[in-house]
Amino acid sequence: SAVISQKPSRDICQRGTSLTIQCQVDSQVTMMFWYRQQPGQSLTLIATANQGSEATYESGFVIDKFPISRPNLTFSTLTVSNMSPEDSSIYLCSSLGTGHEQYFGPGTRLTVT
């Protein structure tokens, strides 16, 4: 199984600012994903990050708000732009394993004040 790390683990940010979350996988993977988990809720897929191409966003999520980079097969970043208190959530990245399973990072807990 892949081991995934995320930085930062948590942050408190002011509204109107942006935060970039980093996701590092310990092996090369084809597909990485970004999820949002709002307080007390389940996980919602934000986008699929493919190496060498633009991310694919789910309905309700746009590139201007959540730009994603995927410079190589082990790393991805998610930026939460122009934050508002409604963006307060846990953001998780995952990687696709060889057997369709996904492995998740520990998450980044974001609080927007």
Q: Which residues bind another protein (CB under 8 A)?
A: 1, 4, 31, 33, 41-45, 48, 56, 58, 92, 94, 96, 99-107
Q: Which two tokens stand for residue 19?
A: 């935060």
Block residue for tokens 């309905």: 59
**Of 40 and 85, which has the nearer Cβ to another protein?**
40
**Of 23 and 112, which has the nearer Cβ to another protein?**
23
Classified as helix, coil or strand, 38 is coil
CB of 92 to another protein, least distance (A): 6
Contact by Cβ (8 Å): 29, 95: yes
C-alpha to C-alpha distance for 82 and 64, rounded to whole angstroms? 9
CB of 100 to another protein, least distance (A): 5
Considering all CA atoms of the chain, what is the largest pairwise distance in Å, rounded to the nearest integer?
Answer: 40
CB of 80 to another protein, least distance (A): 18
